[in-house]
Structures are given as structure tokens and as C-alpha cells.
Structure 1
Amino acid sequence: MRTTLNVVLALLIVFATGALGAPPDQADVVIYGGTPGGLAAALGAAREGASVVLIEPTPRVGGLVTSGLSHTDFHSLESLTGAFLEFSRRVEAHYAKEYGPESQHVRDCWRGVFAEPKVNLAVFEAMLAEQPSITVLRSTVLVGPTLSDKRHVESLKLRGAGGDEFAIHGKVFIDATYEGDLMAAAGVPWSAGREGRGEFGESLAPEEPDGQLQAYNFRFIMTNDPANRVTPVAPAGYRREDFVGIIPVLETGKIKKVFDYPRECLFKAQTPPLPNAKYDINDVSQGLVRLSLPGKNLGWPTGDAATRAAVFAEHVRDQVGLLYFLQNDDAVPAKFRDEAREWGWCKDEFTETGGLPPQLYVREARRMRGQYVFKQQDSMHTPGDARAVLHEDAIAMGDYGNNCHGTLHEGPRFGGKHTGEFYNPVPPYQIPYGVLLPSEMTNLLVPVAASSTHVGFCALRLEPIWMSLGQAAGHAAGVAAKSGIAVQKVDVPALQRKLHSRGSSTIYVSDVLPGHPQFEAVQWWGTAGGLHGLASTPVTSRGIRGKKLHGQYSEAAPGHAAELDCVLDAELAGKWREIAISQNLSADALPAADGKTTRGRFISAAFEATNNGR
């Protein structure tokens, strides 16, 4: 098995570099980290006409989206835009082609956001392969950057799978790792742990700063289909005594099942299931027994390969060991043991790693301290408004909110309690360009370990948002490389227009989605402030989100529609004229509020006028 795997990996490296493993020595844009954010960055830069080298330290691109996180984290489908929307539509098309457009598989993938890891991987690989200017280097790790001074990266020294070291020069670099490894090696300021409440005035922050870090766990892909089930075996280092403490917890009656959703279980088998009767397994939020292990991951952000391998192994011992104990130990009550035995790994997933995901779910590691620090207040309501605080320099948006699975565990492993946990409902929020930018480094962008506080990062750390940030970083990098300018000097309004033309939103608009004929105009207008003030703050936090569809998924956020067919009243027309003038538009180019002019007509006229003025 090992020999076969090595041959496959060698072939992948040859294919990726295009010349018997010989990598290019330079590119316009060099990206370290093949996470979804990194893939979106590569696609964005390539579409700007840049030559791109995408470097992934493991054999598999796609980060957690191809390593188990298959129930995508968002709240409403209306929040999905840009690179992630393109990806999810391709996933849905894959299932339609493979099984038929009316198949159960298409229904189960729910517009492409619930998919098997092997399908996610195939779609990502296809998207990369369509761009001839992208070279992908797998199993290639960073040795260190070479700097011309503390403000400019010249090249990256890398080590390939065979142990050979080489360098790649670039004009612009992007750190798309979950850990921020490149930016830290380049000397960019960063933080890990939690800020104290007083530093940024965040109510969700602890009173005093500390080194606590959001917990990690695996996102197992499992099935109870006997035809595709592989029975788990005891992990290396398994010790029965580590797990007997769960027996008293099971005897309390508070745990109803081993696998269930969303509560009173040990393993959260997220529903609806993925296509082909597979389940994305996750930690039970606020549960009596947790998969996430706060405190066990503290060495990961700054750790070398050996340290991270030890953290990885500890999580395998604990989480696979718990499953093995439940399936095999005679002390486990029969009803739980029998149920647990119905589940196993999938024969056709992660075959190179024995059915286990190849990556640990690194929810949080380093965070850059850059030009703008995203914090709790950035996802809070504008006073009196349904919308969050306005960022006219936004390059992405999200609708998830601040979400932390805990940073410390008190009491016994089984039956104790996580602390530092929060799930904060907020309105959809904008993300400014400054979160991608170091304060000084002129040719580096950081879309994943983005500039934020711990609390703020807990609203950014979702793969659709990371893909939006990566897409923006890729386009910005392509522009900077072509123009020879610092990334801080990129024209943000022009960058926004590029993103809008690619169907990427910079503000949440529930009724004007990508593909709508006025999408670009409405995005431009909303990002200028034109859609703020149309609806007031909901009375209760439940009113922030639409009607629940299932689990965490909801209908569109209320109060966030443009309502283009509504007649423009005089009061709103006055406000909009002021905004138009602030955008350097002549009032003569704007239609009057004559009782017939609609919001849509006004926005179209303003958008046409600004385009004519370029």
C-alpha cells in the first residue's frame, strides 16, 4: 500500500509541475497553501492574466473541504457568491451528470453545498486544470522566505517531496495557510490566543487576555451503509483506561444515541446526509461529551512538523479511540455498543489514509495583525438598522456570525464542560480589504489567517468566506503584479468592480443574487451605503435570520432586500442623491422621485452614469 501511494504521489508531482518534477523558478503570483482560500486566490490571479504557482504542503489540495468538512457552514443560500458559488454549482452539476438531474444524489447535495470529499476534490482539481497559467506543487513545504528588506518578499525556499530544496521568485505572494506560516516566517506581526475585553471593547472577549485557542477535532466521513462500511480499528497508542470514564455518562440517560443530530449524542452526524449515505461527523456544540479538545492544540500554530504531527496523533488517539471503545468494549451498554457498530469509515473515501481524514480541523491558529483588525463590532448592527456596520472598502461578506466551539475544558474528559464557547447571531456583515493587508509588507496578502481579533476571526473562519477573501486576494495580487504597485495601493473600487463582475458580493442583498441583470449595479450601490437604512433593527435576535429550513440553515435574512420594483419615495431619493454626489456623480444624471421612478431605475441610472464617467 505504501509503495503504491508513493508512486501515485510521485505521478501527481510530475503532472503538477509538468516536467518530471522540475518546478518553475518564478511566477507573477506565488501562493502558499492549497486551502479553499488558496484555490480561490489562484483562480482569481489567473483570471487577471497572472502566472501562478500554488504550493500545497500535503498531497491533497482543498483543505478541510476535501478532508471531511462537507456540510458547508453558512446560514442562507443567498450568502453564497463568487468562487464558492461557482464551486458548489459545479458540484451539483457533477451529481446531475453522474446520476441524473432528478436523482436523489442531486437533492442530497442541496445545490452542491453537501458533497462527498472525493467529489469536492475532483471539482477543485478540474477548476485548477482549466487554468493553464496555474502550476500546482503538492507535498512541498516552506523552508523560508527571502526578503529584500522587511517590506518585500523576493522568493520562497521550498522542499519537495523528494527532499530537494529549490526557490521560486515572485512579484506578489499570498499566504493561504490555515496557520499563517508564510506571513509569520516573513516577520509580519501576528497573534494567537484571546484578546482581553478592554483591548477592542468586545463583549464576547474574556476580561483578561490569554493564550487559549479554539479547539480542534476531525470531521470524520462515516456511513451506516454495510455495502460501503469499513470497521474502524484501534488507533496507535490506544488505552482502554482513557475511555472508561464515559460509562457513567452513558448511565445518566442524558445521552440518547451515539450518532445523532443535533443534541443528546456523542458524534454529531449532520443531517441531511451527504449523497451516497455518507455523514459529516462533527463536535456536539455545548454537549455533555465533546470531540473537540481545547488545550490539546496549543502547540499547533507555531509548531514544527514534529509538533504538529504529535498534536494530530493525540486527536486520532482520542477521537478514533473513543469510537473503538464504544464499538468493542463489553463495559459499554449493549444498546450503545450495537448502534456504534453500525457505523464505520467509507470504503471510497480517504483510501490513502485508511479512511481517516488527512487533515485536522484547524479552526484557529495565528491571526495577522494587519492594516485593519476585524473585530466583534464589525458584525454588529448599525444603530437602528437591520444591516451591520457599513464598510465601503468591503471585498467580501458573510452571514454566519461569531462561532467558537470552546477554548478550555473544565472537569473530567467525559462530563466536564468547555468554556470560552459562544454562538453569536448577527446580521450579514461586510469584510474590508484591510484584513488582507500587512501594515508594512508591500507584496504579501493573507486571506485565511486574516487580520482579526479572536472574536472577530470566529466570524471569518468559514470556508465560503475564506474563498471570497481568497478570490479578492487573487485579483488584487494579479493587479499588483501587473502594475508593479504595492498591494496596499490597489484601487479598491476597481477591485470591487472586478469581484462584482465575477459574481462575488461585497454586501448581502437577499433578492438580487449573482446572475441577476442588476447584480453589479446593486452591489456597487449597496457597498456605497445605498441599502443601509431601508429596514430597522429586528426586535429580537431570532429576527436577524430568516425562517429555519433545517439545523443551522435558514431562509434569507429579513430586512436585506433591495426591492427594486418599489417606487422611490422623496425621502429616500434625497438620501440617495447625497450618496450619488459623494460618488462624484452629477445630480443631472439621476431620475427624479416623480411617483413612477423605481429604486431599480434609480440605481441603474446611477450605475450607468458612474460607468460613463470612467
Structure 2
Amino acid sequence: MKRRHFFKKGAKGAIAASLMPIVGDLTAQNGTQENISDANWNSKTVVNKNHKGRQIKVDYDVVVIGAGMAGICAAVSSARKGNKTVLVQDRPVLGGNASSEIRVTVNGVQSLKNEHRVERETGVLEEILIENWYYNEQESYPVWDHVLYDFVTRQENLTLMLNTQVFEAVMEGDKIKSAIARQTTTETEFIINGDIFIDSSGDGLLAAMSGAEYRIGREGKAEFNESFAPDVPDNWVMGDCIMMITKDMGRPIKFNPPGYAVPFDHETAFNSRHRKIKQIKEGFWWVEVGSNKDIIGEREDIKRRLLAHFYGVWDHIKNSGDFPEAENIALDWIGSVPGRRESRRFMGDYILTQPDMEEYRHFHDTVAYGGWSLDEHCPGGIENLTEPASYFHSRFKQVYEIPFRCLYSKNISNLMMAGRNVSVSHMALSSSRIIATCALMGQAVGTASALCRKHRATPREVGKKHINELQEQLLRDDSYLPNRPANDDNDKARKASLIFASSTLSGDVKNLTNGIGRTEIGKVNHWESSGLNAELQLEWEHKVKLTSVEVKFDTNLQRKMMMHKNPANNKGQVIGVPPELVKNFTVEARLKGQWKEIDRVENNLTRLVKVNFDEIDTTAVRIKMKNTHGAPNIKLFEVRCY
């Protein structure tokens, strides 16, 4: 299992390097297609001849709309479970708000009021973040785009369609039969048939076209007993914003604002909380414009206003004389695609609320968690300087749970959601909208889609009849579910008669089968060796049949790992692959009284490693861990055998 070189993938790698949309490879990626009409090109007669439109019909098990971090995690999780999956994205790059077009940091649970402060998200998202540090230590957003592209396109069972906008849902009763989409780069219309549809697009056009019930705006205080909600419900949603990046030119740089710039009322702005110019390298989340009418329909107008306000702020920085440190600073990049915080929220069988989060309510069907503070931005954004830019209402003492009932539509039977469009109140959204939290929801619904197909069940039926199976699979795939340890009867490591290690510095090898794959407050759930070249061994009294050994290593989940626009924000992080992560190891099994190497993993980049092999009969398994990416000892949190 040697690591392959970045983009060294033959023809597919060449496509990855140029970010060309995959169109001709639809059947190769496990979908089936039908050409309904040919282009009928003829260079001699094309003049005065109407061009016949291209139309292609494709069939998939699971259709994921929207390729932000939630959509990527949903599509990859679905494909890994054997579903023929398509990921449809209306932009030329992946990542949504986190892409190079918008450049929002992949924030997650942080600033908790406990000894951890950070409770990092694992699973598919962590794989991506570690891989990005391996290939993109320079923190380039355009390279990040390509890291995401490579991660998605090399996944078996997964087809990617870029520059493709879904604009219509074809219904059969309360079920989506097809999504109609147009790919702008190829002038092609696609009829995308599917069994399960996942809308992770943020605004949720497919879900809305299907007739899925949704809300827009702020609930009143009384509806859910939310102390931070307005007294009376209204239509306000948190605003869009644009970001920027600067560079030091080493000499004075003038700035001449465009004619449409709006002068910045800095005196009023600076008197209201959170509108402060603390740095001039990246900016400014509070250059934001909200809406109380139709933030989707107003998007182009909002972009125009955002640019006008941004250039007014930058004009003040450069030309007011109050920021001498800006003399040599020039704008290097300014976003042209606004980042969106809120629009439609589609209703499920449960609506998560502020009291649910603040009281840390436990749900029998929990599938994800969050912990970003309740962070509601003011109505109007920068056009409302009389209120603070953001109300950081409440930091959490611990993470809160997100139930599966929030992630599927209450009235469209084969529709699930992931991201900021899920079934939460406006106040709850002020926390759950954070990108890494959305990614956890994506992994949950992508995994659930496989159970829908396996049991021929709707998402609601999976939640009612198969929630234990869903939770166990999420835990096996390195999700973390608060107050829900793993208890997989199929895991033969739990039935081992003996487990021991070559040395122990802290923890206990017995912790590796206790069902909790990370450190929790006041609980030790790991085993740590004294030094490198450590061994872990499991013994069974009688032969067991095995086809896989799965290990969860340490990556220090109480430390941030995201990429930032401003390197100054990397304080407290490691720039690169987590040094605690085991780098090289082998798995051996005792066969007929002799130890035999089953597999060798070199340059490992993932916390969860699943070593799969042909079935063996054995009485013992040994994991020999040679070294890490820099730490002096080896630490594990879980071992499983199947």
C-alpha cells in the first residue's frame, strides 16, 4: 500500500491537472448513459443550420447535488459503500465556500469551554485535510482545489460532473425520479436518474423544485423557546460576504478606489462590536450583506453591493492615514463569488434548536456533532452599522449532538440533506453552518444512502429500523458520536482472548476495544508505546476467519488542522502531516504456527487505516509499527478485526 504520487494517474491525472469536466467518462465511472440526440456537427453546412442540443440520460444509485465539503464527504462515503454515485457541482472547482473562489476556512469545533477547546472532526474530512498538508504545505487555495479534485476523481464508483447546474426535479408521487441539469461547458443537458438524492448545495434548488418543505428567515422567540431569537418572526437571514488577500510589495503602493465604491462610515462601524480592523492581510468577514426578502434572487445585486462596500473599507485603510502599516500592502486577490451563510432550511422529522444545543440533549439517532458558538450575524450586515456585526451569543462547554431526523426531508421520501440547508432553526443554524460540522453531516447521509439501498428503505425507515447499523458503520469509519460508543458484534478484536503490546508508556491496550476512538474529557482511551518500533498482538483461543484489520492512530484531535488565508492564524497548529501519525507499519498473522506478513503500509497519511486481504484462518494477529511522522512514541485509539 505505497502512497501514489500526486496526480500520477495516467489519463485521469491529466484531466485532474487541467480541471476539465468529466463528461466522456460517465460509463467508465459506473453510471449508465443513453445518447438521446447527437450534435450533428458538419463544418460545411453549419451556417444557417440550427444546432441540435445534446441530451444524455444517466442512471445512478445515489445522486449528490453540490460539491462543497458536505457534498464531497457524502459522495465519497456513498461510493465507498458500493453505491454508483454521481457528484454534481455547478462550479468549475470543488469545495463550495472553502474553494479558491470564496476561501472560507474549514472551521470546526473550537473554543469550547473545557480543557480540550478543540474537538476536531475525523472521518473523510480529516483524510482530506491531512492530504492537503502533504501536497500543499504552502497553503495555496488553487492547489487546494486540485487536492480536492484528485481526492474525488480517484474514488471508485464515483463520477464527477463540474459546471453542471440542476434546475428541475422530475417527480413520481413523493419521490424524486430524476434531476434535470445542464452542463454549461459542453452545452449538454443531463437527465440524471437515481434511487436516492442528497441535496448538499446550500441553497437547495433541487430540494425546492421537488416540493420539499422548507423555511427561510428567523423564528420568533416563543416557537422553540429560544432566548436569542427575535420576539417576532421575520424574513432576515445572515448575509453573504466576500474575502480578500493582500501582499507586501516592499514599496509604497497607491490605491485608487473604483467609482462604485461606497464610503466607509468608520466612526459608526468601529463603535459597534466586532467591526475592527485588526489586520490587513485577509478580510473581512463583516463585509457582509443580508436580506429580508430573497437572498437567492438578490444574489447578483448583493455581489454588487458587497464589492462597493469592500472597496470603501479598503479605501479607508489605504487612504485615511490611520493605517500606516498598509503603505506597502496591495490587494492580491478579491473574491468574485460571494460566500453564503444562510438561505433555505429544509424540514425533516425533527428541527434542531438552540435549547437542544445548549442543554446538550442526547438523541437516540445521533449521527454527527457540532460545537461552534451560537454565532448569529446582524440583520443587514455592513448596511446596518447600528448593531454589532455578530452576536457571539454562547460558547459551548462540550459538543452537541445532531440527530439523523434533521438530515432527511419530511415529505420527499428519497431526499436527504447535508450542510447549512438541514432541518434546524435559524438560531441553531448560527452554529451548525460551520463547514467541518456540515462535512460530518455529509458523511452521515452518504453512509445512510447505502443502507437505504441495502434494505430497500427510505431514509425515514433507516432512521426508525436501522439506526444502530448506521451508527455502527459511522463509528467504524472514524466518525465520532457523543455518548454513543461502538459495540459491533462483528468486530472479532473485541472477542480476542488476549491483547498485549511490546511496551506501554501510557494508557492500556484494553482501551483499544472499548468502542471510543478518541480522548474524552476525564477519560483515557488510548495505548501509547515507549519509543518507536512498537508491536501490538491479539490472540484467539480458536481459529478465526479474517479479511481485514482496522486501526485508528493518533493525529491529536485537540489541535486545529485547517488551512488559513493568513499564515498568522496557524499559531498552535502543525504545518504538515500530524507528527503523531504512524507512518510505516506491517500487519502479520500466525498461519499454521508461522508468522506471515499480510500487508505493509508505507508513508501512511490517514488516522483510520483499513488493511484488507484475502480470507485467512488464524489464531493471532500482530501489528508492527516502525515509526511516526515525527513523534517519539506510537499511540493508538482502536483496533478492529473482521
Same fold (TM over 0.5): yes
Is the contact made by 1:154 and 1:169 (CA closer than 8 Å) also made in structure 2?
Answer: yes
C-alpha displacement of 1:414? 8.3
Q: CA–CA distance in 2 between the matches of 1:132 and 1:341?
A: 51
Equivalent residue number for residue 318 of structure 1 = 309
Equivalent residue number for residue 226 of structure 1 = 249
Equivalent residue number for residue 276 of structure 2 = 265
1:344 aligned to 2:330?
A: yes
Is the contact made by 1:37 and 1:466 (CA closer than 8 Å) also made in structure 2?
Answer: yes
C-alpha displacement of 1:298? 4.2
Equivalent residue number for residue 403 of structure 2 = 432
Q: CA–CA distance in 1 between the matches of 2:460 and 2:513?
A: 24
Deviations 1:138-187 (A, max 9, x none): 111122100001x2000001111044323110010000011122211111
1:406 aligned to 2:378?
A: yes
Q: CA–CA distance in 2 between the matches of 1:239 and 1:125?
A: 36
**Which of 64, 68, 92 is the equivalent residue of 2:97?**
64
Deviations 1:497-542 (A, max 9, x none): 11111111111799xxxxx98577434999xxxx9999xxxxxxxx
Which runs of no fewer than 5 residues in structure 1 stay unpaired? 1-7, 97-104, 106-114, 256-261, 270-278, 284-289, 347-354, 382-387, 511-515, 535-545, 556-602
Is the contact made by 1:53 and 1:136 (CA closer than 8 Å) also made in structure 2?
Answer: yes
1:394 aligned to 2:361?
A: no
**Which of 447, 460, 464 is the equivalent residue of 1:475?**
447
Q: CA–CA distance in 2 between the matches of 1:268 and 1:405?
A: 21
Deviations 1:168-220 (A, max 9, x none): 10010000011122211111111111101111111111111111111221132
- In terms of Rg, which structure is larger? 2
Q: CA–CA distance in 2 between the matches of 1:508 and 1:419?
A: 35
Q: CA–CA distance in 2 between the matches of 1:228 and 1:475?
A: 54
Could you say if the C-alpha distance between residues 264 and 324 of structure 1 is closer, same or farther in structure 2, counting changes exceeding 3 Å? closer
Q: CA–CA distance in 1 between the matches of 2:513 and 2:210?
A: 37
1:497 aligned to 2:472?
A: yes
Could you say if the C-alpha distance between residues 23 and 175 of structure 1 is closer, same or farther in structure 2, counting changes exceeding 3 Å? same
1:177 aligned to 2:163?
A: no
Could you say if the C-alpha distance between residues 145 and 263 of structure 1 is closer, same or farther in structure 2, counting changes exceeding 3 Å? closer
Could you say if the C-alpha distance between residues 419 and 72 of structure 1 is closer, same or farther in structure 2, counting changes exceeding 3 Å? closer
Q: Please, which moves more after superposition, 307-316 or 451-460?
A: 307-316
C-alpha displacement of 1:17? 4.8
Q: Which amino acid aligns with 1:281?
A: G
Equivalent residue number for residue 295 of structure 2 = 300
Deviations 1:382-421 (A, max 9, x none): xxxxxx2212211011221311122246xx9585324773
CA RMSD of aligned residues (A): 4.1
Q: Secondary structure at the match of 2:277?
A: strand
1:18 aligned to 2:25?
A: yes
For residues 172-571 of structure 1, what are the structure 2 equivalents within 5 Å?
Answer: 172-220=196-244, 222-226=245-249, 234=257, 238-239=259-260, 242-243=262-263, 245-246=265-266, 248=267, 265-266=276-277, 279-283=281-285, 290-295=286-291, 298-301=293-296, 303=297, 307-324=298-315, 326-327=317-318, 332-336=319-323, 338-346=324-332, 355-381=333-359, 388-408=360-380, 413=383, 416-418=386-388, 421-426=391-396, 427-448=398-419, 449-490=421-462, 491-507=466-482, 521-523=514-516
Q: Which amino acid aligns with 2:98?
A: V
C-alpha displacement of 1:434? 0.5
Deviations 1:450-500 (A, max 9, x none): 001001111210111100000111111122134321111221111111111
Q: CA–CA distance in 1 between the matches of 2:521 and 2:17?
A: 54
Is the contact made by 2:70 and 2:442 (CA closer than 8 Å) also made in structure 1?
Answer: yes
C-alpha displacement of 1:321? 4.1
For residues 160-171 of structure 1, what are the structure 2 equivalents within 5 Å?
Answer: 160-161=183-184, 162-171=186-195
Q: CA–CA distance in 2 between the matches of 1:318 and 1:121?
A: 28
Provide the aligned length of Structure 1 versus Structure 2. 463
Q: CA–CA distance in 1 between the matches of 2:571 and 2:314?
A: 28
Deviations 1:315-356 (A, max 9, x none): 1222134324543xxxx43243x434433344xxxxxxxx33
Q: Secondary structure at the match of 1:451?
A: coil
Q: CA–CA distance in 1 between the matches of 2:455 and 2:254?
A: 56
Equivalent residue number for residue 44 of structure 1 = 77
Q: CA–CA distance in 2 between the matches of 1:371 and 1:91?
A: 36
Q: Secondary structure at the match of 1:361?
A: coil
**Which of 82, 85, 90 is the equivalent residue of 2:131?**
90
Q: CA–CA distance in 2 between the matches of 1:120 and 1:392?
A: 37
Q: CA–CA distance in 2 between the matches of 1:244 and 1:357?
A: 19
Q: Which has the higher strand share?
A: 2
Q: Which amino acid aligns with 2:107?
A: T
Could you say if the C-alpha distance between residues 343 and 420 of structure 1 is closer, same or farther in structure 2, counting changes exceeding 3 Å? closer
Is the contact made by 1:55 and 1:138 (CA closer than 8 Å) also made in structure 2?
Answer: yes
Which runs of no fewer than 5 residues in structure 2 stay unpaired? 1-14, 27-38, 40-53, 111-116, 486-508, 524-557, 562-567, 574-636
- Superposition TM-score, scaled by structure 1 size: 0.66
Is the contact made by 1:37 and 1:463 (CA closer than 8 Å) also made in structure 2?
Answer: yes
Deviations 1:526-565 (A, max 9, x none): 9xxxx9999xxxxxxxxxxx9999999999xxxxxxxxxx
Q: Which amino acid aligns with 2:276?
A: C
Equivalent residue number for residue 542 of structure 2 = none
Q: Secondary structure at the match of 2:470?
A: helix
Could you say if the C-alpha distance between residues 525 and 345 of structure 1 is closer, same or farther in structure 2, counting changes exceeding 3 Å? closer
Q: Secondary structure at the match of 2:151?
A: helix
C-alpha displacement of 1:281? 2.3
Equivalent residue number for residue 135 of structure 1 = 159
Identity within the alignment, %: 21
Q: Which amino acid aligns with 1:18?
A: D
Q: CA–CA distance in 2 between the matches of 1:483 and 1:396?
A: 22
Deviations 1:88-129 (A, max 9, x none): 111222246xxxxxxxx5xxxxxxxxx442243222112102
Q: CA–CA distance in 2 between the matches of 1:9 and 1:145?
A: 30
Q: Which has the higher helix share?
A: 1
Could you say if the C-alpha distance between residues 152 and 205 of structure 1 is closer, same or farther in structure 2, counting changes exceeding 3 Å? same
Is the contact made by 1:153 and 1:444 (CA closer than 8 Å) also made in structure 2?
Answer: yes
Q: Please, which moves more after superposition, 487-496 or 40-49?
A: 487-496
Could you say if the C-alpha distance between residues 413 and 461 of structure 1 is closer, same or farther in structure 2, counting changes exceeding 3 Å? closer
Is the contact made by 1:13 and 1:137 (CA closer than 8 Å) also made in structure 2?
Answer: no
